[in-house]
Amino acid sequence: MTWQWTEKAEASPTPTALSQKEQLTNYLTDIFNTEYTKYYDGLHYEMTNYSESISGNKYTATFNWTEYFKNYYKDPDTVGYIKKAKESGDKDYQGLYDDYNAEHSGNFSLKATAVISSDGTLDLDTIEILGDSAMTGAPKYDEPLRNYFPESR
């Protein structure tokens, strides 16, 4: 399934039994799995530094999102740049070789906004996820999440 930005993400289990943080985690996990499964294996995620505010039915949260991933297993010596490093005696060959099948992580500083439905669930049609584009100083949440995915560039 290709993620459609106009589609609703399906959060499981039943959202009414989950906190807004858990619903958001499931929503993001669904999106990241859809977007990155074609490139990586062993995907899992962690949400830290979570802070939320609720005003009436308006939900806002800021948090760090870490994506953990590995390349699909492959003999590193069959990968072009590693094979070339080995053949040329490059001093970095062993590091490239060891690193290829290791777990890596990517970090995102994100802000989520949504409307909370009367049953306590996040209205998936209203969720907006923005990334922090500021390199230093105060956060600047203005980068749409979809811009972080390879096919959106």
| Six-digit token string for 116 | 């909370």
Domain boundaries, the chain: 15-146
Determine the Cα–Cα distance for residues 26 and 81; give it in Å rounded to an integer. Answer: 36
C-beta separation of 115 from 59 below 8 A: yes
Strand partners, 10: none
| Six-digit token string for 49 | 């530094």
Q: Tell me the pLDDT tens digit for each residue of 81-129.
A: 999 999 999 999 999 999 999 999 999 999 999 999 999 899 999 999 9
Q: Which residue has the higher pLDDT, 151 or 14?
A: 151
Q: What share of the chain is helix, strand, coil (3-state, %, to 5)?
A: 30, 35, 35
In the numeric block, the tokens 């005696």 are attached to 89
CATH architecture of the domain with residue range 15-146: Roll (3.10)
Give the 3-state secondary structure of 16-63: HHCCHHHHHHHHHHHHHHHHHCCCEEEEEEEEEEEEEEEECCEEEEEE
**What is the per-residue pLDDT for 152?**
57
Cα 92 to Cα 78, 95, 96, 116: the distances in Å are: 16, 5, 6, 51
Nearest Cα to Cα of residue 54 among 137, 143, 122 = 122
Q: Tell me the pLDDT tens digit for each residue of 51-80.
A: 999 999 999 999 999 999 998 999 999 999
